[in-house]
Structure 1
Amino acid sequence: MRKNILSIIGIILIGVSIFIAKKLIDNKNQPKPVIPKVVKTVIVDTVQNTTVPIVIPANGNLTAKQRVELYSEVQGIFKTGKKLFKAGTKYNRGETLISLDAAEYYASVQSAKSNLYNSIATIMPDLRLDFPDVFQKWQNYLNSFDLNKTTPKLPEISNEKENYFITGRGIVSAYYNVKNLEQRLAKYRITAPFSGILTEALVTEGTLVRNGQKLGEFINPETYEMEVAISKSFADVLKEGENVSLNNLEKTKTYQGTVSRVNGSIDATTQTITVFIEVAHSDLKEGMYLEANLNAQKVDNAIQIDRNLLLDSQEIYVVNDSVLQVLPAKPIHFSDTKVILKDIPNGTVILNKPVPGAYAGMKVQTLTQKKDSIK
């Protein structure tokens, strides 16, 4: 009985083994499923070589082209004027910015002018007797002398004898002493050298202003300059008068400026050259940060593409008979996002957008994004 059971189990195991073996053989001979090959669609453009300008990006802060730092050369009490000396106050050319109390000094100037007048009046009798030919011009000078006005220039001395006589009486030295005092008296009043606006006020009315003290800053808000540093390689191509496009950080406004000055020396540390861009617009303020695009040079027979289309091997992908191929390129200039290339034949079909996983020999389907050829 036991032998019969074992025989039956053995027959069953042999049958199961045969069945499994047949299944494995059938699966091995079954053909593998064919995966359909996907052809990627790529965006392309046709090359048309043209003249491409090299645009250099730069940035900087605006400063007023006309600006004056106000300092006092005399000492006195700041007098109240028609306008308050406050930041933001506008003044016309010639209008008084600051006026200091000069009553005491004015009295000393008048005293010196009076002494000069008396000195000339004293010598008039001698001139009438010894120099009758020059008496009249000195008499006319005295008649035009006004203590409340600027001291007039002394008459021209005609000959050597007159010179000795006038100089010996101390007339010339007294005259220049008066003119020196008048020059200093004028410094008690500071006027606007041009129409502009006060941007900084460091003193207030009624305070004591000391000699050499800074009083504030005054600018012309109509014209500004921006200082930028560019590579020394463009030192020979940047010219004064070149047009420059500027924009604010938000890229919402654009302004037009010109290159007003180019520094004649190169910074030894950074190997850059300083360029000054002049710009005028009612929206601009001193200290505003702007970005500039300088047209430094023009490259003939070239194209401009995105930097990510240029391979590390200095090649680009082209499409020939729906197959990707690589073509050597000659980079001329790199910017943040663009590169200028030469030696790309006209009519060449190149990629307009990068293709992930692209390789030479890859089958593609083309799609032109733009009607215009790439330039």
Structure 2
Amino acid sequence: MRKLILGILGVLLIVGAIFLGNYIASSKKKTRPVPEKVVKTVFTDTIENKTVKIVIPANGNLVAKRRVELYAEVQGVFRSTGKLFRPGQEYSQGQTLISIDASEYYASVQSAKSNLYNTIAAIMPDLRLDFPEVFDKWQIYLNSFDMDKTTPKLPEMTSEKENYFITGRGIVSSYYNVKNLEQRLSKYRIRAPFSGILTEALVTEGSLVRNGQKLGEYIDNSVYEMEVSLGKSYATLLKVGESVELNNIENTMSYLGKVTRVNGSIDATTQTIKAFVEVKGKDLKEGMFLEAKLNAKEERNAIEVGRGLLLDNNQIYVVRDSLLDIIDVKPVHFSDTKAVIKGVPNGTIILAKPIPGAYAGMKVKAFQNKENSSKSTSSN
């Protein structure tokens, strides 16, 4: 009996161990959760076609519109004018830029003027006797003759006899000889042709200036020009007089210029056309680098989108019933960050920002701004 009881207990222990093992094994099994389908939230725009201004970006350096390179046409010692001949020195129109010592040459001019005066004075008695009708005008000419001023123009000769008489005495040739000397004497003093600033000085006071030597450069610092190169497709679109917005590199200062000239020929090497933009401003300096935005033309029934939204096959994503779809579009202009396209019907909802991994048929959810949830946005 005892053996029977022990056998039954052994069987029960074995069965219990089996059930306990199965229970422990079954408790370690975890059910794999069903992955939840993620719906991406996207930014969208509702399209409204309108007229888009095509703006062409360009850049260049400012150059003074009026510039004078100063050269010596005579020889002598550079004398002080009261202002230091140094870069950055400003002058008003008519002020002396450079004065070259002309004392020796001035003496020869005065000698020639004196000879002319004496020659005319010597014929006055003959004029009184032979040509009394012209005596008065020559007497008035002599009275107005000032050795310290420019030689006045000879009186007009009204008859052939007077002309032969005056010319025969060598007065006309002496007069033009004096005027030639006076003209050369004026080259010893160079005056500012306009108000501006000296940008280069190659001589200093006391230097010996030689004929043909470059002395410096002088510019008008109130008006500048910027040369820009544009694609030949815009040759017929740019017009003289159009306004141009200009900005510096830091985009902290903006200026308003205008197109003053457009080159009539296209560069055969680069296939570009050059345009010149005039701009004024107190803060402008020659050589300053500026970026220009030229209004080339206006494209009707078009929209402007980011270039990242345009697919390689000239297509864009649209949202239809919370699903992405693809439509064909017609690009008409590209800039660095934007693209002007046509062919998108009004009211079409497109992506406002590209999303990674997008594909046609992808389920999306449009982002709703609480403040503007009831407003549709334009692509522009």
Q: TM-score, normalised by structure 2?
A: 0.89
Structure 2 CA distance for partners of 1:128 and 1:368, relative to 1, 3 Å: farther
Q: Aligned residue for 1:7?
A: none
Tell me which of 364, 367, 378 is aligned to 1:373: 378
Confirm or deny that 1:261 pairs with 2:266: no
Confirm or deny that 1:302 pairs with 2:302: yes
Q: Aligned residue for 1:171?
A: 171
2:245 and 2:144 mapped to 1: Cα distance? 59
Q: Aligned residue for 1:119?
A: 119
Q: Aligned residue for 1:210?
A: 210
Q: Aligned residue for 1:285?
A: 285
Partner SS for 1:218: strand
Q: Aligned residue for 2:149?
A: 149
2:251 and 2:116 mapped to 1: Cα distance? 67
Cα offsets for 1:91-137 (capped at 9, x unmatched)? 11111111010000000000110111111112212212221111111
2:321 and 2:299 mapped to 1: Cα distance? 30
Q: How does 1:63-142 map to 2 (within 5 A)?
A: 63-142=63-142
2:267 and 2:161 mapped to 1: Cα distance? 61
Q: How much does 1:152 deviate?
A: 0.2
1:284 and 1:152 mapped to 2: Cα distance? 45
Using the TM superposition, name which of 220-229 and 314-323 deviates more.
220-229
Cα offsets for 1:191-223 (capped at 9, x unmatched)? 111111111111000000111111111112111
Question: 2:306 is matched by which residue type in structure 1?
Answer: D
2:232 and 2:68 mapped to 1: Cα distance? 31
2:106 and 2:72 mapped to 1: Cα distance? 17
2:267 and 2:261 mapped to 1: Cα distance? 16
1:119 and 1:271 mapped to 2: Cα distance? 67
Q: Aligned residue for 2:9?
A: none
Question: 2:73 is matched by which residue type in structure 1?
Answer: E
Q: Aligned residue for 1:353?
A: 353
- 8 Å contact kept, 1:116–1:175: yes
2:176 and 2:62 mapped to 1: Cα distance? 44
Q: Aligned residue for 2:21?
A: none
Q: Aligned residue for 2:334?
A: 334
1:315 and 1:144 mapped to 2: Cα distance? 88
Partner SS for 1:138: helix
Structure 1 unaligned regions, length at least 5 = 1-25
1:264 and 1:124 mapped to 2: Cα distance? 62
Q: How does 1:305-320 map to 2 (within 5 A)?
A: 305-320=305-320
% same residue: 69
Question: 1:78 is matched by which residue type in structure 2?
Answer: F
Q: How much does 1:31 deviate?
A: 8.9
- 8 Å contact kept, 1:315–1:329: yes
2:144 and 2:111 mapped to 1: Cα distance? 18
Partner SS for 1:276: strand
Q: Aligned residue for 1:61?
A: 61
Q: How much does 1:155 deviate?
A: 0.2
Partner SS for 2:137: helix
- 8 Å contact kept, 1:246–1:291: yes
1:140 and 1:57 mapped to 2: Cα distance? 68
Cα offsets for 1:24-68 (capped at 9, x unmatched)? xx9xxx997532211111110000111101110100000111221
Q: Aligned residue for 1:4?
A: none
Q: How much does 1:368 deviate?
A: 5.1
1:323 and 1:350 mapped to 2: Cα distance? 11
Q: TM-score, normalised by structure 1?
A: 0.90
Please, what is the CA RMSD of the aligned residues?
1.6
1:210 and 1:47 mapped to 2: Cα distance? 72
Q: Aligned residue for 1:220?
A: 220
Question: 1:373 is matched by which residue type in structure 2?
Answer: S
Cα offsets for 1:127-171 (capped at 9, x unmatched)? 122211111111111111111110000000101111111111111
1:146 and 1:333 mapped to 2: Cα distance? 72
1:246 and 1:89 mapped to 2: Cα distance? 28
- 8 Å contact kept, 1:226–1:276: yes
Partner SS for 2:119: helix
Q: How much does 1:358 deviate?
A: 0.5
Q: Aligned residue for 2:38?
A: 38
Structure 2 unaligned regions, length at least 5 = 1-25
Q: Give the count of matched residue pairs.
A: 348
1:59 and 1:274 mapped to 2: Cα distance? 12
Cα offsets for 1:313-351 (capped at 9, x unmatched)? 110000000000001100000111110001111110000
- 8 Å contact kept, 1:44–1:368: no
Question: 1:135 is matched by which residue type in structure 2?
Answer: F
Question: 1:298 is matched by which residue type in structure 2?
Answer: E
